[in-house]
Every structure is written in C-alpha cells, then in structure tokens.
Amino acid sequence: MVIEINFNADMCMHTGECCRHLPDVFKVIGGQFFIVTTAGTEDEIAQTVKKCPSGALSIDKDY
C-alpha cells in the first residue's frame, strides 16, 4: 500500500519544512504544491509529516 497524505492549503504556513526534509517528495513547481509519495519511504514521509508545524500535512487514517 502506498502512503496517502492529506494537505490542507488553508492551514499551511509555508515554512517549507516538508520541502527541506524530503525535496523529492514535497515540491513546489510553478507555485503549485506537489506530493510524490513514491519518491520516499513510508517511514521518511511519516516522519516529515509529523514535523509540519501547522498541521497542514497528515497521513490518511486508513493507512
């Protein structure tokens, strides 16, 4: 199963923690935010999601 990430743009503080920690997974291209879950391990992604200071990122509860 591929990890599923939820992103709440209204909560995002744009600190860039996710992009700094896992730039292959969390990317901003042309002003758009992308999450490429296949570019990192589930553990790496989960650890980075936990570091989100605003709580804008979360892991799908069904995961």
The pLDDT of residue 62 is above 70: no
pTM listed for this prediction: 0.86
Structural domains present in the chain? 5-59 (3.30.70.20)
Closest residue by Cα to residue 35 from 59, 61, 11, 13:
59
Give me the residue label for tokens 């209204």.
Answer: 10
pLDDT in tens, 10-61: 999 999 999 999 999 999 999 999 999 999 999 999 999 999 999 999 998 6
Rg of the Cα trace of the chain? Answer: 11
- In the chain, the amino acid numbered 55 is G
Question: What Cα–Cα distance (Å) separates residue 42 from each residue in 2, 13, 53?
Answer: 8, 24, 19
SS3 category, 45: helix
